[in-house]
A and B are shown apart, each in its own frame.
Chain A
Amino acid sequence: MTDLINAFVLLSNFVLIPGLAYGAQLALGALGVTLIYAVLRFSNFAHGDTMAFGAMCVILVTWGMQGLGISAGVLPTALLALPFGILGAVALALLFDRTVYRFYRQQRAAPVVFVIASVGVMFMTNGIVRLIIGPDDQRFADGERFIIRAREFKEMTGLAEGLALRTTQGITIVVALVVMVALFWFLNRTRTGKAMRAYSDNEDLALLSGINPDKVVFWTWVIAAALATIAGTLYGLDKSFKPFTYFQLLLPIFASAIVGGIGNPIGAIAGGFVIAFSEVTVTYAYKKFLFYLGWESEGLMQLLSTDYKFAVSFVILVLVLLVRPTGIFKGRVI
């Protein structure tokens, strides 16, 4: 019996908790991609770099606050800096919308033109981030590091396996939950949210009903940039901040959005967790887990080496596109 509990604790420690935290980060990123897709109808390649930009603003403000001696006690100071970071990312997103995307909207350009424009925006944002903060790793997490430490857990329960819950993981899950609830409340209960959904459903009908498209687009960018900043900051707190990693996150984020059904917010969340858990479970070495279940194995019992985690998100993406092209929850169009 203890072996079974040990096996479960082991799996929670190395698969369940990291998967939940990573899934929440991906889901927040995918929500931004999916919203832009639903309203503006293109895949935004610059989203990863928007995340990096927002996170960078948060880091700069965090450093400022730390310099002034402001802290959030046991929580990371970055949480206090988050609103300022969101303001920065929103300003950047709206600036690019005014200078770049609005023109193509008025032209009613093909989606692929928007995608190419977003590649240009991606380059520029990437350049700005590297110019300001540099290409290197930055750590900005402070406050208490753990909610539960592995050693304390072992002493408390007397089990052989420890369970650690880092503060950043806890915060990620809580913040993601709060943000998701707030987003759904906004989309379903407020006038602007309803207008956004109507516009995404049927643009012409929405325009006929007197919905102001500029306002819809404005709020879409605001929300997408805010989500990107939150996702980027949580990811940076949990792992570390490096501009290039955010660019690489683009692929799992797109995969999450498409797997869940692009344009569908619930799908984006589900997709985020599907991708995160597949990545973690496929690249986890099951040797010790199987040992607790009474099976001695020679190798590591790892299905794929951790470096192939991109491959995992991609294979799922392809499978979903082949089997059910609209995603798990029916997305907009294919």
Chain B
Amino acid sequence: MRGFVLFAAMGLALVGVGVFQSWNVALAILNLSLISAIMALGVNIQWGYAGLFNVGIMGFAALGGVAAVLVSTAPVGAAWAAGGAGIGLAGVLLAVTVGAIVFARRWLHGLARKLATIALVVGGYAAVRMAYDPAVGAIEAVDPARTGNLGGLGLPIVLAWAVGGVFAAGVAWVIGKISLGLRSDYFAIATLGISEILIAIMKNEDWLTRGVKNVTGLPRPVPYEVDLQTADWFRDLAASLGQNPVVFSGIFVKLCYALLFGLVLLALYWLAERALRSPWGRMMRAIRDNRDAAEAMGKNVTARHLQVFVLGSAVVGIAGAMLVTLDGQFTPGTYNPLRYTFLIWVMVIVGGSGNNAGSILGAFLIWFVWIEAETAGRALMSGLVDWLPQGSALGAHLLEAAPHLRLFLMGLILLVVLRFSPRGLIPERTRG
């Protein structure tokens, strides 16, 4: 009941923005809220179900973005011809090296094991670099202003959403293997570090995703405004609704996105709820609430943690691919942990950790506040500036600084909720 009222209020707030500001803004907020809600769902699966404090959300979201680029852009034939073989060789050499290290560590002991590991790391690194460097140089030399990378598969971008989930899951498996044994705050620091490394790789490996040169103009799963404006059926539709076709085409495209994102969110929500109510979900909560007792009952805690970490990260990866789809571009330079990791965390804590509906509500609410706080902050500051003498330097500075008010506000909201309502807006139901 409480959840229903809160969601209704949230819907009203969005309608309010539509009526008083513009429907374009309202729908833009709605779309990003839907994507944020999926990310929050992923975080909730890790934190709410299993108590994993993962602050590497940004990295998994960006992996989804990489998937979008690799699936949807057209392949660059010349680059493949120039360096495809070299990259392939480097990949094979890397795999061989890793395999050899694993093999050596399994079958050798004592000093021989250490020496073999060191020799393999050094030798493997040199061999990989020898294949990799010329190939990268060749690929990046192919039409660097427009491509300079290998390109993608040229498939519909919607497929990338699933691929993004798979990418994130794969990387999460490796990360989880290494770092899930760590205590909670070490795990947090490890995931924070990994997300920074993932972004660094995306910024630097130009042959893969063009790095900081960005990939723009990704294909869309929905029609383009320009095409709509010239299509007869659309002009008729706009006319019958009494709308200006140019303005309405923007709204229509956003509605299409909202529909797609909403479907994905509903599907994932349904799956997440099913999982939470299943014996598996009960076991996860048992592990979260009393790890030692669960272990004594014969539950394999590390394996369960790895499982839930991979699942949650996959959900974040899906959302990351959707985000890049909505933007139509992949810009590794814009990923920032405050926005892509910690803001999502604020959403989950505020909404109610352990409750999927709560996380979704939190995502809507926090994203709404994040966007509207900028407008409100500017209004507040210009109100303040009116009291100051005309053209004062302080006034100009305050106006310029207004957008940063929202960071302060986010921290405040998080702290207030954590203190006075630590279970969030829609608390977890304790009876499973």
Contacts and interface: CB of A to CB of B under 8 A. Distances in A.
A307 B345 contact: no
A113 interface: yes
Interface string A187-203: 00000000000000000
Interface of B: 51, 53, 133, 178-179, 182-186, 188-190, 192-194, 196-197, 200-201, 203-204, 336-338, 342, 345-346, 349, 397, 400-401, 404-412, 414-415, 418-419, 422
A247 B184 CA distance: 21
Interface in A118-137: 119-128, 130-132, 134-135
A77 B291 CA distance: 54
A134 B188 contact: no
B418 A135 contact: no
A112 B414 contact: no
A124 B418 CA distance: 14
A20 B207 CA distance: 35
Contact of B411 (A42, A127, A244): A127
A186 interface: no
Contacts of A182: none
A251 B188 CA distance: 11
Contacts of B203: 307
A247 B133 CA distance: 32
B404 A130 contact: yes
Given A120-B418, A132-B401, A251-B193, 19 more contacts: A100-B415, A112-B185, A113-B422, A116-B349, A116-B414, A119-B414, A123-B342, A124-B411, A127-B408, A127-B409, A128-B408, A131-B404, A244-B336, A307-B203, A308-B197, A308-B204, A311-B197, A314-B194, A322-B178
A102 to B, nearest CB: 11
A258 B189 contact: yes
Contacts, number: 126
18 contacts: A112-B51, A115-B53, A116-B418, A119-B342, A123-B407, A124-B408, A126-B338, A126-B411, A127-B409, A130-B401, A131-B404, A134-B401, A135-B404, A251-B192, A307-B204, A314-B197, A318-B178, A322-B178
B424 to A, nearest CB: 12
Contact of B196 (A125, A126, A248): A248
Interface of A: 42-43, 100, 103, 111-113, 115-117, 119-128, 130-132, 134-135, 244, 247-248, 250-251, 254-255, 258, 299, 305, 307-308, 310-311, 313-314, 317-318, 321-322, 334
A100 B411 CA distance: 11
A295 B282 CA distance: 64
Contact of A247 (B182, B190, B197, B338): B338
- Best-buried of A111, A115, A127 by chain B (most CB within 10 Å): A127
A115 B178 CA distance: 22
A305 B133 CA distance: 12
Contact of A134 (B189, B400, B405, B407): B400
A125 B412 CA distance: 10
Given A131-B401, A251-B189, A120 B411 contact: yes
Nearest to A44: B185
A92 to B, nearest CB: 13
Contacts of B190: 314, 317-318, 321
A135 B411 CA distance: 17
A172 to B, nearest CB: 24
Given A115-B53, A135-B404, A308-B204, A255 B185 contact: no
A317 B179 CA distance: 11
A88 to B, nearest CB: 17
Nearest to B189: A254
A115 B193 contact: no
Contacts of A308: 197, 200-201, 204
A305 B204 contact: yes
Contacts of B342: 119, 122-123
B141 to A, nearest CB: 16
A247 B58 CA distance: 15
Contacts of B338: 123, 126, 247
Contacts of A322: 178
Contacts of A305: 204
Contacts of A248: 196
Contacts of B200: 307-308, 310-311
B354 to A, nearest CB: 14
Contacts of B336: 244
Nearest to A123: B411
